[in-house]
Structure 1
C-alpha cells in the first residue's frame, strides 16, 4: 500500500517545479514537489563557475519577485539564480521535499491515478507533472575515441580553465555555452579551436534595448511550436562581463580558430564539415534580420531610440572562415582537452506510461500528454519560443495548473467530494 496520498506529484524542483507549485497552490490543489537534490540544483552544480543568466534580471524572473541585490539590467550569477528559486519556493510555501529520488511512475490498474515509487516510499497521486526540464542527460557524440586526448568532458562538467590539463582545447558547439567557455579558455591563455554549427545570434543590445525586449515587442517570444524535429535552435548570446553580442569574427580576432561542425575522427585526426562559412552567414542573416525588424518597429511606432547604423556593418570574414581548416591532428596541434557543448537529452526512464514517440520524446500539447493525468513542463517550445526560459515556464505552468483544476472538477462530478468546477479560463 502507498505510504501516503496526494492529488499531484511534481517531479523536479527547478524553475519548472517551483512555478508549478505556485499555480497549483493558487488553485488550492494538494500537491508534493519531489527533488532528488536541492532546489535548482543544476544551476549550482552542473554549470561552470563564471556562468551568469543569459537574460537581464528585469526579464529572466518570475512575476512575483525581483532578484535581490541585482540591478535590473545586470545578469544574475548562477548562485544568485539558484538562491532566487530557493527563496521563491520558501516565499510561496512550496511543499518541496529535497533528497527524494523518484524511481518509477505507473498508472493504477482498475482505478484512477498513479503509483509513484520514491527512495522514501510510495505515493498515490491522481496527477503527475514531469518538471525535470530539458537538461537531464548530457550528450557527447560518439566521435572521438576514449583516450585520444587527456580529457573529454561535457559542458555540464566544465568548471574553469584550471580544471583542464595543460594544452590546447577544442570546444564543440557554438551556442551560448560553447562560445562563453571558448572565450573564457582563450582569455586564460589557452589555444582554442571552436567547432561552429548552425546557430541564431541575436544582438545583446540594439538601440538601447536588450534583445529580450525586442523579442517581446516584436511578438517573437510568442512564436508557436515549430514542426517536430525542428524544435531546437542553438542560440549564441551572452551575459558574461556585463553582456555583449556574440560575434564570431571578434572571437577569431581574439585568437580562437573557428572550424566547421565536427564530423569524424580517425587515427588521431579530427575532420570538420566544410560548412563554417555557411553557418556564419546564416547566423549573420538572423542577426541582421532582427535589426531590420527592430528598425521597422521604431519607425512604425515613432519611438525615440538612438540609431545604430554601425551595428549593421559586419567586418570581413577572418582567414579561418574563408579558408577553413578541414582536418586537425590533435597531437600536432597540442590539443589535450575537448569540451562538448553539445546539449542534452531527456531521460524519462522512470515514467512508465504510454506518452512517448518512437524517439522517446513526450507526445504532448502545451504540456498535456496523451496519457490522461500526466503533464510535462519546462521543455523547449512547450507552447512557444519562450517556454524554456524562466519567465516562459511560469506562464506554461499556469496553463497546466488550469488544466489539472478543470480535470479535477470533472472527475469529482457525482461524488461526495465536490461538484464539477467551472472550467478554468485558458491562459496564453
Structure 2
C-alpha cells in the first residue's frame, strides 16, 4: 500500500480532482507545476486502488512496458518490450506517487456535487463540504458491475462473482466454471482458469482479437509506428460510437501471446455463443458462436493485412513473411442450451462489463447513456472536465501511453480558464503563471 502524507479537507480549492487513479494523479502533477491550489479526493484507502485490489493475481499489462509514460516517470526497467505483472505495475505506480507527493485525502466519499452561481461548485463529502472553481472527474467509467436479468434464480450452491472479484482459481469450488464474456477480462480469466486445469465453459461475445506478434514485432509496436494510437475520435470511422467499442483480446502473460479460443477448444474448453438466460436449470445461449469466432478472426487478419500494407508501402523488410490465420477448430454445431447441474458447473464469473454511475454529480452534462458530453475531456460546462475515459481524445487515451498527454491538455486549459476568472475577479486569488 502506498503511504502519503494526507492533507485535511479545506473550505475552498481552485480545483478538486475526484479520483486517485493514474489519470487524476497526472492532472495533479501538472497542476502542482502550475502552483494551482487543488486536492485529490479518493474514496478508497489508497491511491491507484483498482490496480491493487481489482485485478486477478496473474494479471499483466497487454501493452508493452515502453508505453508506460506517466509524467516524469517513464518505464526504466530492463524489459521495455515485456509486460508488467500486477505487482510490477503497483511498484511502478508507487514510484510515481512517491515522486508526486500529491495533495490527497484518502477514504473520503464524495456524495453530491452541484453548482452554486456561475463559477463555483459545492462538493459534499462524508467528511464535510468544500467549494471549488473547477471540478475534474477522474473516477473512470467502470463503476457498477453488470449482471444479467435471469428468468430463474441460480442455485445457492453455485458461486457467482464479477470479473473484478476474481483473483485466482483457488477461490472457486470444485467443479466446472462458466465464464460469461470474451472481452479482455473474460478471455484472460478463461485462460487463467484453463491453464490451472479447470474445466472452463466460455460464453463468447462480439469482442475482436489481434495477434500479439506479427512480422517479427509486437503488433502494438507496428500500430504505434503506423500512427494508430494517435487516431482521434473525430477521425475514427465510427466517430463517437468508438467509445462504446470492446477492446481486442490478447495477453501479455508469459512474455505475451495470442489468445486463440479455437485452440482452447481443442484443449477441452467448451465454447458457446452469447449468454441469453438461465431458466429452469438450463443455461441458454444464442446460436452465434461461429459468427463470433469468425468476426474475431477477421479482425485479427485485417490488422495483420494492414501491417503488411504498411511494410510494403514503406519498403520495410522482415524475416517473417506475411500470413493469414486459418481456424484450427470449428464447432460441430451451435449448442444453445445446457443443463447447469448435469455439466457440474459450480461457479459463474460474469465478465460483461460495467455501467457508469455519476449520480452524485448534479449537473446537466450527461448523455442518455450516462456518459458525459465532452470534447477532449472538457464538458459542455467549461468548469467541469473528465480524465481517464477510453477514447477521451485518441486510442491512446485511458492508457498509460497517453493519459499524461490528456492530463497536460486539460491542466493547461484549467490554468488558462482559472487565470481568466482571476482577471475578471482580481480579488479572488493571485494570478498564476501559465
- What's the TM-score once normalised by structure 1's chain length? 0.92
2:276 is the counterpart of 1:233: no
Moved more, 374-383 or 117-126: 117-126
Matching residue within 212, 219, 222 for 2:220:
212
**CA–CA distance in structure 2, aligned partners of residues 70 and 123 of structure 1:** 45
Matching residue within 404, 408, 416 for 2:418:
408
Q: CA deviation at 1:25?
A: 2.1
Aligned pairs (5 A) from 1:148-167 = 148=155, 150-167=158-175
In structure 2, the partner of 1:386 is: 396
Classify 1:316/1:188 alpha carbon distance in 2 versus 1 (closer, same or farther; 3 Å). Answer: closer
Matching residue within 192, 204, 218 for 1:196:
204
Q: CA deviation at 1:68?
A: 5.6
Please list the CA deviations of residues 257-280 of structure 1 after superposition, one character each: whole Å capped at 9, or x if unmatched: 111000122101111111111111
Matching residue within 336, 339, 361 for 2:349:
339
Aligned pairs (5 A) from 1:237-256 = 237-256=250-269
- Residue-pair matches, total: 418
**CA–CA distance in structure 2, aligned partners of residues 383 and 63 of structure 1:** 18
**CA–CA distance in structure 1, aligned partners of residues 228 and 388 of structure 2:** 19
2:362 is the counterpart of 1:352: yes
Please list the CA deviations of residues 21-72 of structure 1 after superposition, one character each: whole Å capped at 9, or x if unmatched: 1122233322111111211101111111111111111113425223465521
Name the SS of the counterpart of 1:333 in structure 2: coil
**CA–CA distance in structure 2, aligned partners of residues 341 and 144 of structure 1:** 19
In structure 2, the partner of 1:42 is: 50
Classify 1:209/1:185 alpha carbon distance in 2 versus 1 (closer, same or farther; 3 Å). Answer: same
**CA–CA distance in structure 2, aligned partners of residues 245 and 4 of structure 1:** 52
Classify 1:230/1:59 alpha carbon distance in 2 versus 1 (closer, same or farther; 3 Å). Answer: closer
In structure 1, the partner of 2:326 is: 314
Check conservation: 2:265, 2:329, Cα contact below 8 A: no
2:281 is the counterpart of 1:268: yes
Classify 1:62/1:306 alpha carbon distance in 2 versus 1 (closer, same or farther; 3 Å). Answer: farther
Moved more, 97-106 or 123-132: 97-106
Name the SS of the counterpart of 2:95 in structure 1: helix
Q: CA deviation at 1:208?
A: 2.4
**CA–CA distance in structure 2, aligned partners of residues 388 and 145 of structure 1:** 38
Name the SS of the counterpart of 2:65 in structure 1: coil
Check conservation: 2:150, 2:279, Cα contact below 8 A: no
Aligned pairs (5 A) from 1:164-175 = 164-175=172-183
What stretches of structure 1 of length at least 5 have no aligned partner?
A: none
2:32 is the counterpart of 1:25: yes
In structure 1, the partner of 2:12 is: 5
Q: CA deviation at 1:381?
A: 1.4
Name the SS of the counterpart of 1:193 in structure 2: strand
In structure 2, the partner of 1:116 is: 123
In structure 2, the partner of 1:259 is: 272
Q: CA deviation at 1:194?
A: 0.8
Check conservation: 1:32, 1:96, Cα contact below 8 A: yes
In structure 1, the partner of 2:104 is: 96
Q: CA deviation at 1:82?
A: 2.5
Name the SS of the counterpart of 2:259 in structure 1: coil
**CA–CA distance in structure 2, aligned partners of residues 344 and 80 of structure 1:** 26
Name the SS of the counterpart of 2:311 in structure 1: helix
**CA–CA distance in structure 2, aligned partners of residues 65 and 144 of structure 1:** 50
**CA–CA distance in structure 1, aligned partners of residues 216 and 262 of structure 2:** 23
Matching residue within 306, 309, 318 for 1:293:
306
Classify 1:81/1:146 alpha carbon distance in 2 versus 1 (closer, same or farther; 3 Å). Answer: farther
What stretches of structure 2 of length at least 5 have no aligned partner?
A: 1-8
Q: CA deviation at 1:361?
A: 1.8
Check conservation: 1:6, 1:32, Cα contact below 8 A: yes
Check conservation: 2:390, 2:397, Cα contact below 8 A: yes
In structure 1, the partner of 2:291 is: 278
Classify 1:400/1:322 alpha carbon distance in 2 versus 1 (closer, same or farther; 3 Å). Answer: farther
Check conservation: 1:41, 1:82, Cα contact below 8 A: no
In structure 1, the partner of 2:6 is: none
**CA–CA distance in structure 2, aligned partners of residues 88 and 137 of structure 1:** 28
